[in-house]
């Protein structure tokens, strides 16, 4: 006799069966909206360019706590390399396989079922609950959460705290909560020289030779020492392109692409200034363009962090670790409004990989943790 599937698993499989490769939503949001409308949420569908988003709110009073996430997923890669078709979710030996299992349709399902149980138990809860959902997290992230936040800010609607369902965990769900993220500053440096024959270097200027000591200094530099929550700022070169492919030609220019992941101990302005100072000191002819992908943010111990820690302890029996490691998330668009932001989601070991999967038991426990967080925040 087969055990009846849980509401969380059924919903996760429904969402995962939809081919919502960024920026496509493929009907995922309407599935969620239908469930939320039944609970009394007011829905705003917010489409910006080719991106579907929605804002759903239940209640009109403060405090306002939002659950945030994304319905879009990354491409699958070669589907033939998957154990099971990536958009035909399968449970095998306690693991749910399919694209989006961990990042982050499993979290979305857990959020919905947690709120369904919570509202049933506490129909007159204090404050307000909201959902902020986008299909532009895995893509350029220009017509998703950032636009919804701008829309809310324009009318003075303030989020007090936000729980993001990004896969934060390492070994078992809840062992790590992200209470901040590093900032991300990218740079494209083009060093200009004069192309020529390698046999006549006095008639050319080799930009690779010119930039080499600059890169050595940048790579060896200490930018800050980090702090209690952040590791030291990291500088990494990701691409170097130069030359014609011939062995006897000095190139006319070289392009270097690099990135800073930086802590709250510095700013993007200070990093840019210091890079420019090093370039000037080495007397390099260059063009430099910076791209700021996200500011660093940090939510210290307080109402939301404490509620999340209590929930993990109650459901999993473990003391969670607070971390700011990893890449960027949409939390970077919400935190600057003054909201407390934490990320709590599944184990991230298989995200963006072939055979992405999540433990079914982890999804059930995640839903219970989300419910407990709401109880801590919105029940006297």
The residues annotated as belonging to the active site are 72, 137
Q: What are the C-alpha distances in Å from 40 to residues 119, 149, 372?
A: 9, 22, 20
Tokens for 165? 């369902």
Coil/strand/helix, residue 81: helix
Kindly report the number of other CB atoms within 10 A of residue 9's CB atom. Answer: 21
What end-to-end distance do the CA atoms of the chain give, in Å?
42
Q: Cα 118 from chain centroid?
A: 26
How many residues does this entry show for the chain?
380
Q: Strand pairing partners for 258?
A: 187, 237
* φ/ψ bin of 231: left (φ > 0), alpha (ψ from -120 to 50), beta (otherwise): beta
Which residue is it, tokens 């992230």? 141
Closest to 336 measured CA to CA, from 220, 201, 183, 188: 183
162: nearest Cα among 372, 379, 370, 380: 370
What is residue 156's three-state secondary structure?
coil
304 φ/ψ angles, rounded to the nearest 5 degrees: -75, -45
With b for 16 or more beta-carbon neighbours within 10 A and e for fewer, the 249-271 pattern comes to ebbbbbebebbbbbbbebebeeb
Dihedral sign (CA 38, 41, 47, 48): negative
- The four Cα atoms 214, 219, 225, 228 give a dihedral, to 10 degrees, of 140
CA distance 345 to 177: 8
């Amino acid at each position: 006799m087969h055990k009846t599937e849980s509401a969380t698993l059924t919903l996760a499989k429904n969402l995962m069966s939809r081919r919502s490769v960024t920026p496509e939503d493929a009907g995922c949001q309407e599935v969620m909206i239908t469930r939320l409308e039944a609970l009394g949420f007011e829905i705003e569908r917010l489409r910006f360019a080719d991106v579907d988003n929605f804002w759903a709110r239940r209640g009109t009073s403060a405090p306002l706590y939002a659950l945030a996430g994304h319905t879009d997923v990354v491409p699958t890669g070669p589907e033939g390399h998957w154990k099971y078709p990536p958009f035909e979710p399968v449970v095998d030996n306690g693991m749910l396989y399919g694209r989006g299992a961990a990042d982050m349709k499993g979290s979305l399902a857990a959020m919905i079922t947690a709120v369904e149980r919570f509202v049933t138990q506490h129909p007159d809860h204090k404050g307000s609950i909201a959902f902020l959902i986008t299909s532009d997290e895995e893509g350029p992230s220009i017509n998703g959460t950032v636009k919804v936040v701008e829309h809310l800010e324009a009318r003075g609607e303030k989020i007090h705290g936000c729980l993001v369902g990004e896969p934060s965990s390492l070994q078992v769900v809840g062992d790590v909560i992200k209470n901040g993220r590093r900032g991300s500053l990218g740079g494209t440096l083009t060093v200009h020289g004069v192309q020529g024959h390698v046999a006549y270097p006095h008639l050319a200027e080799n930009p690779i030779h010119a930039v080499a000591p600059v890169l050595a200094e940048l790579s060896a530099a200490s930018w800050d020492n980090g702090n209690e929550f952040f590791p030291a700022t990291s500088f990494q070169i990701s691409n170097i392109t130069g030359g014609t492919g011939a062995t006897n030609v000095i190139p006319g220019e070289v392009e270097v692409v690099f990135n800073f992941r930086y802590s709250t101990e510095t700013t993007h302005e200070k990093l840019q200034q210091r890079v420019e100072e090093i370039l000037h000191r080495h007397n390099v002819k260059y063009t430099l363009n910076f791209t700021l992908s996200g500011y660093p943010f940090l939510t210290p111990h307080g109402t939301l962090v404490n509620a999340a820690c209590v929930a993990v302890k109650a459901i999993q029996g473990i003391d969670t670790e607070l971390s700011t490691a990893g890449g960027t998330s949409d939390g970077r668009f919400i935190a600057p409004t003054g909201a407390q932001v934490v990320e709590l989601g599944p184990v991230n070991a298989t995200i963006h990989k072939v055979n992405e999967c999540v433990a079914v038991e982890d999804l059930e426990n995640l839903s219970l943790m989300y419910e407990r967080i709401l109880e801590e925040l919105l029940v006297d």
